[in-house]
Structure formats: C-alpha cells, structure tokens
Amino acid sequence: ELRDALAASFGNGALAGLDVVVSAGPTFEDIDPVRFIGNRSSGKMGFAVAQAAAEAGARVTLVAGPVGLATPLGVARRIDVRSTAQMHVAILEACTQAQIYIGAAAVGDYRPSEVAERKLKKQAGADLVLQLTENPDILGSLSMQATHPFLVGFAAETHDVARYAQDKLQRKGLDMIAANRVGDGLGFETVDNALDVYWADGMLALARAGKTELARQLVACVAERYRAVRG
Amino acid sequence: ELRDALAASFGNGALAGLDVVVSAGPTFEDIDPVRFIGNRSSGKMGFAVAQAAAEAGARVTLVAGPVGLATPLGVARRIDVRSTAQMHVAILEACTQAQIYIGAAAVGDYRPSEVAERKLKKQAGADLVLQLTENPDILGSLSMQATHPFLVGFAAETHDVARYAQDKLQRKGLDMIAANRVGDGLGFETVDNALDVYWADGMLALARAGKTELARQLVACVAERYRAVRG
C-alpha cells in the first residue's frame, strides 16, 4: 500500500522498465598529488534526480564525482569517479544498455596538461603558468553515437541562461536540457533550485523548490517527453 | 570529577590561560564563479588539534577553510574563510592576542592572477593557459613581525619529508614544525596519520594513530616546548 501510494505521488512508475543513467557531482582534475581543479557542484541535484528516477520505477545507475553523499534508496548501482576522463568511461559503459541518460554532473571542461607525480614546490617570487587541455565532451560523444539513449543535459550558467541552454541543446544534439541559474541563493552549494527545461519545440519552467521536489518534477517531464519521442 | 579526569588525561591543562589560534582545512582559489583550485586537506587534523588545545585549557580560535566539519566542543571562536587571502587576514587579526599559532591548514601557494566574473566558456579545440600568482605566506608574514606568537607549522609532503620539514622550519623562522607524509594511507583524506615534530635542537616521532590521539600528543609537545622557550 505504501509502495502504491509512493508510486502514485511520484509519477505512477513513469519510468518502469527503463534503464536510466544519472551523473552527479563535480569532477576533480589533479594538478599534483595534493592540488586539483574542482568546481562548486555539491552533487545534491544529481542525487535527487537519481532518487526521483528510482522512485519512478527506473533501474538507475548513478555515476558520482567526489562527493560525500549517501546513495539514495532504490538506486541499483553507483560508480564513484574523480576525474572527467574516469566519468567519461563509466558513463559510456553504463549507457550501452540505458534508454535515458541524465547528465547532472558539473564536468570539468579542462584538466592540467600534465599531472605532476610529486607535489609542486613554490618558486619564490615567481608566477606560475598552468597549461590546461580540453576534456572529453561526454554528452557530445554520446550524441554522436549511431544509437544512444535519450539525452538530458544540464546547463549551470551565471548569465544569459536561456540563450545558452537552447544553444547547447542544439549544438550537442540533446533531447532536453535543464537550465539553472547559479547565484542569488540558487544552484550550486544550495538547497533550493529552480529549473527551466527546454526541448526542441517546447519548454517548462519549474519554480523555485527544494531539490528533491524539483527532481521529481523534472523526472516526470523527462518521462513524458521520452514516451512522446521514443514510445 | 569528570573534568579533572579529562584534564589529567589530556595534559593537565597544559595550555591553561593561553590564547591559541589554529588554522585548518584547505583553501579554495576561485578561477570563476564555478571553478576553483583546491587541495585535498579534509581539515580533520586541524580540527583535532583545535579540540586538543581546548581540552588542554587554551582559549582556541579556529580559522577554517571550506570544510563540512562541526566545531569541536570547547573551541571558543570559529572563523570560516574560503581563500588564502581571507585566511591570511583572519589569522593575522586573531594572532594579535595569541601566544601560540598552529598552522594546520593546507594553504594554497598560488591563486589565479585574475578571477573571472562570469563562468569561462570553453573554446572548442583550444588549450587554455591559467596564469597563477603567488599567495601571501601566512607563516612567513607572522614570523617577520617584531612580536609574534610561538609558531608551529605543518609540512605535508610526498617526498623527502624530513629534509623539507627542517628546511621549512629554518627558512620561515618557525618554533616547531609537524611533518606528515602524504600517501600510503596516511595524511590527506584519511583517518590515521603519523607525525614527526621538529624544533631547533630536537625532534619527536609520533607513531601512526588516529588524528584525535595524535593531536593530543602534538599539543602536549607544543605546550612543553612553549613553556621551555617562552616560560
């Protein structure tokens, strides 16, 4: 009875029978054994999405960057990674048998071109130049595959959010994109969030809410679009 | 009675009547509103030192980098900071009325020369160069002051630990330095630790132990040296 009630309130098993891969958290790109380049993603939104997808009946694989968060109840598999390159490999593998990929991780666009084996020593009085190399584009490499899951991206921007999100949707060949504005108490390292979800010929604005509630609304929207496009 | 027992086991109020400043955790140097350069310090060793100093009777000010740790019982004041520059200001202010400074924070040696106000956009196919500027040397600037607290530094190295620690002790004009080797299950992001403590004419090796126990032994050693040198 409880399970039925949960299913009813969380979307009637809208993703029942589907394999869904969710990425979450930041990636850390090591400079040396001590230092790294990171980003402010807490992983909370992605973990909430993984939980909501499991509640909706999906078999969820959660690929998580370095975060200290417990695996949500009902998530079938969790793969912990640190760098974007590791996340890339894990997601490609997991997506070979998934119908939907929701990329909520804040993937590092760049990594140090060389990783020092020993801790770099400070050179007194001298500035330092860090040479960075572009990371693999996870969403881009998925969408270029002949058969690939229904692709849902995220855009976390500080400015021109709508324009950038729609551009990323087209440029990367995504099915949907969820855009959240960072700052003003929203987005990274916060509890509340607000999302604008775009697809080729529509959009849905999800008002400011807790990440758990917002994730459920997003998952319901993804399920609806997935059924419309892929049956 | 419990209080007496605690005092007896934790060093008989060896720091009673003293103001002690402890720094802990990493510093994060922002590249833009989303990305930053960080380091692997969990803050656990510094928080354990702050707790041990409070147990030994000191009035403790804890200056903490970005960590998700609760303030240890008995710590009188906590100042949360993010960057090395912020930590520098907070420590200099707190040290104006302290007799002992224990610098357990893993301070970032470098910061991006410019912090972008907007999230940097990826330039397809292009590498990126990040220009870094040296951060203020917190221990160095303290030791250059005419009157300054008894200075205890930390050295977290991957190689040549003893040689580097003794060099840092002299070069920065410290009273003591605690060296821990990073790696092999010790140091950053771990529970256990092991410390070699050096001063001008002596050293003490503290065997592998939990950070709480190790911090108590370190604080006892600092108190003993402080009383010997500054009465």
Yes or no, beta carbons of B129 and A131 under 8 Å apart:
yes
pLDDT band for position B11 (cuts 50, 70, 90): very low
Chain A CB contacts of B36 below 8 Å? 37-40
Q: What is the mean pLDDT of residues A174-184?
A: 82
Q: For position B131, what pLDDT does the model report?
A: 92
Residue of A nearest to B129 (CA): A131
Question: How confident is the model at residue B159, as a pLDDT?
Answer: 80
Residues of B forming the active site: 39
Q: What is the pLDDT of residue A121?
A: 74
Residue B186 pLDDT level (bands cut at 50, 70, 90): low
What pLDDT was estimated at residue A190?
64
Tens digit of each residue's pLDDT (9 = 90 or more) over B30-57: 999 889 999 999 999 999 999 999 999 9
Whether residues A126 and B134 touch (CB distance < 8 A) is answered with: yes
Average pLDDT in the B189-199 region? 81
CA geometry: angle A46, A49, A51, nearest 5 deg: 110
Lowest average pLDDT, out of B23-32, B66-75, B126-135, goes to B126-135
Q: Measured between CA atoms, how close is B63 to chain A, in angstroms?
A: 20
Best probe of the A interface among B130, B131, B167, B184, by most A CBs < 10 A, is: B130
Weakest mean pLDDT among A178-182, A208-212, B167-171, B220-224: A178-182
Q: Which residues of chain A have a CB within 8 Å of the CB of B124?
A: 134
Residue with tokens 């860090």, as numbered in its chain: A130
Chain B nearest-CA distance from A16, in A, is 35
Give me the mean pLDDT over the A117-146 stretch: 85
- Chain A residues near residue B34 by CB distance under 8 angstroms: 39-40, 106, 156, 158, 182, 188
Summarize the confidence of residues A159-166 as an average pLDDT: 87
Q: Contact A132/B130, CB-based, under 8 Å?
A: yes
The more confidently predicted of residues B188 and A113 is: A113
Contact A39 B37 (CB under 8 A): no
CB contact under 8 A, A106 and B134: no
Cβ contact A127–B132 (<8 Å): yes
CA gap B135, B150 in Å, rounded: 22
Say how far apart CA B176 and CA B154 lie, in whole Å.
9
More confident residue, A213 or A10: A213
Q: Is the pLDDT of residue B212 over 70?
A: yes
pLDDT at residue B139 greater than cutoff 60: yes
Does residue A39 carry a catalytic annotation?
yes
| Whether residue B158 has pLDDT greater than 80 | no
> Is there a contact between A132 and B131 if contact means CB atoms under 8 Å apart?
no
pLDDT value of residue B220: 96
Residue to substitute from A35, A67, A191, interface B, most B β-carbons within 10 A: A35
Catalytic residue chosen out of the listed positions A39, A135, A180, A193: A39
Chains A, B: CB contacts within 8 A come to: 102
Sort out which chain B residues have CB atoms less than 8 A from A68's CB and list them: 68
Contacts of B35 in chain A (CB under 8 A): 37-40, 108
What 3-state DSSP class applies to A175? coil
User: Do the Cβ atoms of B108 and A34 come within 8 Å?
Assistant: no
User: What is the DSSP secondary structure assignment for residue A121, as one 8-state letter?
Assistant: P
Q: How confident is the model at residue A191 (pLDDT cuts 50, 70, 90)?
A: low
User: Is B127's CB within 8 Å of A133's CB?
Assistant: yes
- What pLDDT does residue A193 have? 77
pLDDT confidence bin for B119, thresholds 50/70/90? confident
Say yes or no to pLDDT of A226 above 50: yes
Strand arrangement, sheet containing A176-181? A77-80, A59-64, A19-24, A100-103, A150-157, A176-181, A192-199, A202-210
Say which residue, A16 or A192, is predicted with more confidence. A16
Determine what percent of chain A is predicted with pLDDT higher than 70: 88
Question: If DSSP states are collapsed to H, E and C, what string results for chain B?
Answer: CHHHHHHHHCCCCCCCCCEEEEEECECCEECCCCEEEEECCCCHHHHHHHHHHHHCCCEEEEEECCCCCCCCCCCCEEEECCCHHHHHHHHHHHHCCCCEEEECCECCCEEECCCCCCCCCCCCCCCEEEEEEECCCHHHHHHCCCCCCEEEEEEEECCCHHHHHHHHHHHCCCCEEEEEECECCECCCCCEEEEEEEECCEEEEEEEEEHHHHHHHHHHHHHHHHHHHHC
- pLDDT at position A213 is 94
Cβ-based contacts of B83 with chain A (< 8 Å)? none
Q: How many Å lie between the alpha carbon of A41 and the closest alpha carbon of chain B?
A: 8
CATH number of A2-109+132-230: 3.40.50.10300
Mean pLDDT throughout A131-140? 93
| Mean pLDDT, rounded, of chain A | 89
Work out the pLDDT band at A182, boundaries 50, 70, 90: low
Residue to mutate among B28, B32, B69, B110, with most A CBs inside 10 A, is B110
Place of tokens 């002790």: B169
Q: Which position has the token pair 């087209």?
A: A170
Q: Would you place residue A11 in the very low, low, confident or very high pLDDT band (cuts 50, 70, 90)?
A: very low
- Average pLDDT for chain B: 89
Run of H or E including A140: helix A138-143
For residue A119, the distance in angstroms to the closest alpha carbon of chain B comes to 6
Q: Which of B31, B34, B156 sits opposite A34 (nearest CB)?
A: B156
CA distance B57 to chain A (A): 33
The CATH label, of 3.40.1190.20, 3.90.1170.40, 3.40.50.10300, 1.10.150.20, for the domain at B2-109+137-230 is 3.40.50.10300
Distance separating alpha carbons of residues B67 and B87, to the nearest angstrom? 13
Strand B35-39 to strand B59-64: parallel, antiparallel, or no bridges (unpaired)? Answer: unpaired
- Given a cut of 70, whether residue A39 has pLDDT beyond it is yes
pLDDT above 70 for A5: no
Q: What is the mean pLDDT of residues B52-63?
A: 97
Q: Distance from A140 to chain B by nearest Cα, in Å?
A: 12
pLDDT for res A4? 54
